[in-house]
Amino acid sequence: MNKRERFAIFLSRLNDAPPGQNREDSFTLMSRIMDEVEDELSGVDRSNFGERMRVWGWEFGWKNLGNDPCFWDDSMSATHRTHIYHNGRILITAIRNNHVVVLDKPGAN
């Protein structure tokens, strides 16, 4: 299964999951679901950073961590931007498609 197909499954599972209570909950939720999707469907070892999709830790390129929202995008391919709000809201946009919203998941608060 290619990355685009796996990413669509990630978005679907993330959308169906209970909302995060706050920024940290939502980050943990995204990380867990991404790992589950990649473990099940990619056939790629976790150490293969080139082929495996992942949610990078706060220290790896997240911007505006002191603000609401913070955001991250892949500086290499710049396909999507992920915003996480203090209330747990997750907003993911497609950078190459005029920032069309691909997921807008409300937070619990």
CA dihedral angle for residue 77, residue 104, residue 53, residue 19, rounded to 10 degrees: 150
Strand partners of residue 104: 91
Per-residue pLDDT, averaged over 89-109, amounts to: 92
Q: What is the pTM of this model?
A: 0.90
Mean pLDDT of the chain: 90
Check residue 77 and give its pLDDT: 67
Ordered by start, the domain boundaries in the chain are 3-105
Per-residue pLDDT, averaged over 61-68, amounts to: 90
Check residue 54 and give its pLDDT: 82
Q: How confident is the model at residue 78 (pLDDT cuts 50, 70, 90)?
A: confident
Contact 91, 104 (CB under 8 A): yes
Read out DSSP for 34-101? HHHHHHHHT---TT-TTTS-----TTTT-B-TTSSSEEEE-TTT--EEEEE-TTS-EEEEEGGGTTEE
Look at residue 75 and tell me whether its pLDDT is greater than 70.
no
Check residue 76 and give its pLDDT: 63
Residue 55 Cα distances to 11, 36, 98, 107, 109, angstroms: 13, 12, 22, 18, 23
Read off the pLDDT of residues 45-60 as tens digits, 9 standing for 90 and up: 888 877 888 888 777 8
Which 3 state secondary structure label does DSSP give 104? strand
